[in-house]
Structure 1
Amino acid sequence: MKALVCILLLLETFVFVVQQQVDGGLNENEISQQISSEDGRQNPPRTDTLGAEASTDSQQSCHLCFPDIHAALRELTATVTEQKANIRALETQLREQQTFILEELKKKDDEILNLTLSQVEELRKENRDKKIAFSAGLRQSGAGYTGPYKSEITLTYKKVITNIGNAYNPVTGVFRAPLKGVYMFRVSVYGHGGTGATASIIKNGEQVVVAHDYQAKDRLNSSNGVVLLLEVGDVVYVRLWPNRRISDNSQENLNTFSGFLLFPLR
């Protein structure tokens, strides 16, 4: 508090001196008297002892406060300068790290793009070169009848004539699409009169087309075909109708089931 009073006193005296110099100037005695007068106003004497103590404390405070303030300002300035330097260094480091990260991300993006394009091209080539075709006869050996049965059955064409791509299973009689595309299927039926010869091409459990012939006597012969759009995993097979009978032998292959890929689709 004494230091603050000292500072205010000096400022007031300085303003007064400047004003007097502007108005006409003061001599040294007048300045001394003015300072003494100001000291008297700020510290009115109560006793000789108190006045002396107050004068001594004020002088010591004035002498001590200014060096402390200047030292604090110098220390604060040095600290601010140091912090500014640290901030500039940190900003530079952050910019360098940001540039490095962006470059690494761009490299990764390029790698992923190149890999994806390579995989797509490889898949296209694989699909383009993929060949799927099969044809199978009903009997592996010998001759005989199949049917009649009280309910529908899936025909198993056991004699594999062609099975490129191995998409047809001779054990189950089911063709399973290995890739999306457009396929052609055909079925032929042969039998003897009296029961009729009827079979259907089935896709995923749904009847698509039927090959049918019926007459009381003599031979029965029919065929039918269809073009199907299949997704990967779709199944196609042939079912013999109830109460129908077909006839075949392994030499003539009168009942057949065939199919092939016309073209793949993306």
Structure 2
Amino acid sequence: MKTPGAVLLWSALVVVAAESGHTNLQDEAPGPAQTQQSCQPDIYTVLREMTALITEQTVELRHTKTQMEAMETRLRASEKTVEEQRVELRLTKTQMEKQIAELKKDNGDSKVAFSASFAVSVNKHIGPFNTATTLIFNHVFINIGSAYDPNTGIFTAPVRGVYQFRYHIFAGGTHGAGANLLKNGQHVVAAYNHIASHDINTSQGVSLQLEKGDTVCLRLGQGAWVSAYTGHYTTFSGQLLFLM
């Protein structure tokens, strides 16, 4: 009966014999002492080779693991970069949409023009009054931008810019005729013609730099009058020249 040690030794001899090309161990096997002495170095060699191979594979596995971890880190960094770029693109898109909306609004606000007269069915005069009175031109020829209010006679600047205003006054000569142009309630320019034996005319024009919300209107002076004829001889007009 063979002991476990003998079995292990016999297995090792089989491996060594197979590698060396020997197939008949019964015929060629030397005595036990000689076999033990000749096989032990070969077994140790195999073990050393296997140990070296395992060590090499372990090193390769560690290197592969390190590479995979590095790739995973780069992948996470790439995903983070892509997400950051997506966020940046969304912000850029939002900013562009906002700018486009503002440009559209500015473009719409930059179209400002009005021209108006008096709405009457028969010829008459407005005035004279004992106090200065704002003229309300309620017959509107054009009011692009709706900056002029025909219910109050007041123009309100929708945007900051340079505006041009013109007005023409026509009246009979029994009283003086004219009107003052006011900015935010303050006098700017005036147009006036004295009493005469015939119909009288006067006109005025001015360009003003206005801030958004500034107001402009015409005010009939004390003791003066203007015609409100069906022919619309008296008019008040204004327009935005350019933005500031």
TM-score tier after normalising by the smaller chain length: 0.5 to 0.7
Letter in 2 for 1:248: A
Secondary structure at the counterpart of residue 117 of structure 1:
helix
Unaligned 5+ runs, structure 2: 1-71
Secondary structure at the counterpart of residue 92 of structure 2:
helix
Partner of 1:89 in structure 2? none
In 1: Cα distance, 2:80 partner to 2:180 partner: 63
Partner of 2:159 in structure 1? 179
Q: In structure 2, do the counterparts of structure 1 residues 208 and 101 end up closer, same or farther at CA, with 3 Å as the change threshold?
A: farther
Q: In structure 2, do the counterparts of structure 1 residues 109 and 194 end up closer, same or farther at CA, with 3 Å as the change threshold?
A: same
State the Cα deviation string for residues 12-47 of structure 1 (Å, max 9, x = none). xxxxxxxxxxxxxxxxxxxxxxxxxxxxxxxxxxxx
Match of residue 98, structure 2, among 109, 119, 124:
119
Partner of 2:219 in structure 1? 239
RMSD: 2.7
Q: CA deviation at 1:150?
A: 1.1
Secondary structure at the counterpart of residue 123 of structure 1:
helix
Secondary structure at the counterpart of residue 113 of structure 1:
helix
Q: In structure 2, do the counterparts of structure 1 residues 151 and 105 end up closer, same or farther at CA, with 3 Å as the change threshold?
A: farther
Q: CA deviation at 1:259?
A: 1.0
Q: CA deviation at 1:149?
A: 0.9
Q: CA deviation at 1:195?
A: 2.3
In 2: Cα distance, 1:112 partner to 1:206 partner: 46
Partner of 1:150 in structure 2? 130
Letter in 2 for 1:118: E
Secondary structure at the counterpart of residue 204 of structure 2:
strand
Letter in 2 for 1:182: V
TM-score by length of 2: 0.61
1:205 and 2:185 matched: yes
Which structure: greater helix fraction?
1
> Could you tell which deviates more after superposition, 253-262 or 187-196?
187-196
Q: In structure 2, do the counterparts of structure 1 residues 101 and 242 end up closer, same or farther at CA, with 3 Å as the change threshold?
A: farther
1:206-225 paired onto structure 2 within 5 Å? 206-225=186-205
In 2: Cα distance, 1:211 partner to 1:101 partner: 71
In 2: Cα distance, 1:119 partner to 1:167 partner: 24
In 1: Cα distance, 2:174 partner to 2:117 partner: 23
In 1: Cα distance, 2:126 partner to 2:236 partner: 15
| Alignment coverage as a number of residue pairs | 172
1:255 and 2:225 matched: no
Unaligned 5+ runs, structure 1: 1-91
Match of residue 169, structure 1, among 149, 155, 161:
149
1:136 and 2:116 matched: yes
Among the aligned pairs, what percent are the same residue?
Answer: 36
Letter in 2 for 1:124: L
* 1:199–1:211 contact (8 Å) kept in structure 2: yes
Letter in 2 for 1:111: R
Letter in 2 for 1:215: I
Runs of 4+ in 1 over 6 A off after TM superposition: 98-103
